[in-house]
Amino acid sequence: MRPPAPDGSRGVVGQSVTPPAAGFLAAPLAEALAVLPPRPVGTLVDAPLSAGGCFVRPLPVDTTCAAAARRFFREALASLPIPSGILHDGVTMASELAANTLHAQRKAALAAARQRASSAVPEIWLYLRGSGRNCEIVCKVFDSERAFDRTVQMGLDKAPVDSVSGRGLQVVDGLSAGLWGCHPTLSRLGAAKTPGKAVWFALRVPPSALPDDLGRPRHGPDWLVDELAAMLGARGMGSIVRADAGAISVLSISRHLTVWRHGPTVTWRAPSGTYLRLDLADLVDVTEQIVWAHEQSALAETPGYPTGPVPVADLAAS
């Protein structure tokens, strides 16, 4: 990590960002503490949700998967004053996503065994994004079933109204008020990042329940863009070519994906062709969205993979 110049800039440099061997700080802790303002944890990899971190746990590949997801959801939010009704809805949806991903993960494990490839265990991720009236709890369940196999997808209209099973995603759609979906991504746990997908939902938190800045790192844009580059490296993005000029930074992720930072925001072009702009303070969500765009671009080059937007119901896990 390069300390800022006396005028606050970092000069103009082109460099390859190498993922740190451990944690998200590229510099030794003693050097980092001399440059960065004090904070309650050494790095965002150790930070709780309230400080801008991401809660990550592996899920068992057996019938206890849903129960483990419920327990982890409560554990992640235990220190936050979340209203009981919202907590109950979140626990229910996390349980449904975990139950749905169990079949997909078993299928992925069988395919990996036939191909003598590795298959990551499913994972549950939770973090906060937004602030004030737009603050949301985001929950994602990852599995290594890469393809969105339409023959095993439940969708929103498969289960009859009077059915007592097979309605997991209908429950998620209703409780989240439509704030859910599915996208390609990479696993978070382990040194080797396994391609797969994440099915997610978001829950809006009433402004009165949490402080406006909860879940948003209290650091300047220069520190945040350093952390973003390191987090992308740790998420499996490999070698990133970077250039800085004052309040502008450019991160070249791949030939398909370039990220621009201008002041406190970041912008990139999604595979759909639209440009996305996000607040850099939502560091975990920014990182995950960039990984999503990277993996979507890679899939778009796969023969037979459908191009263009795919409806949420068509991307649903089985």
Q: Is the dihedral of CA 107, 113, 114, 117 positive or negative?
A: positive
How confident is the model at residue 316, as a pLDDT?
Answer: 34
309: its two tokens: 């937007």
pTM of the predicted protein model: 0.76
CA distance 195 to 143: 9
C-alpha distances out from residue 114 to 84, 108, 110, 128, 186, Å:
45, 10, 6, 38, 21
How confident is the model at residue 76, as a pLDDT?
Answer: 95
How confident is the model at residue 298, as a pLDDT?
Answer: 83
How confident is the model at residue 165, as a pLDDT?
Answer: 41
How confident is the model at residue 213, as a pLDDT?
Answer: 79
Residues belonging to the chain: 318
Q: Which amino acid is at 102?
A: L
C-alpha distances out from residue 67 to 34, 51, 107, 199, Å:
44, 27, 20, 17
From the list 60, 95, 75, the residue with the least C-alpha distance to 201 is 95
- List, in order, residues 6 or more apart from 146 with CB less than 8 Å away: 108, 184, 195, 196, 197
How confident is the model at residue 240, as a pLDDT?
Answer: 93
171: its two tokens: 């429950």
How confident is the model at residue 96, as a pLDDT?
Answer: 93
Domains of the chain from N-terminus onward: 14-45+217-300 (no CATH), 49-212+304-315 (3.30.565.10)
What string of pLDDT tens digits covers the 318 residues of the chain? 443 433 334 433 334 444 333 333 333 333 333 333 343 344 676 788 888 899 999 999 888 999 999 999 999 999 899 999 999 999 999 999 998 887 655 555 555 555 544 557 899 999 999 988 899 999 999 998 876 544 334 444 444 444 334 467 889 999 999 999 889 999 999 888 999 999 999 999 988 888 877 888 888 899 999 999 999 999 998 889 999 998 999 999 998 899 999 999 999 998 888 999 999 999 999 999 999 999 988 887 765 554 443 434 333 332
How confident is the model at residue 146, as a pLDDT?
Answer: 72
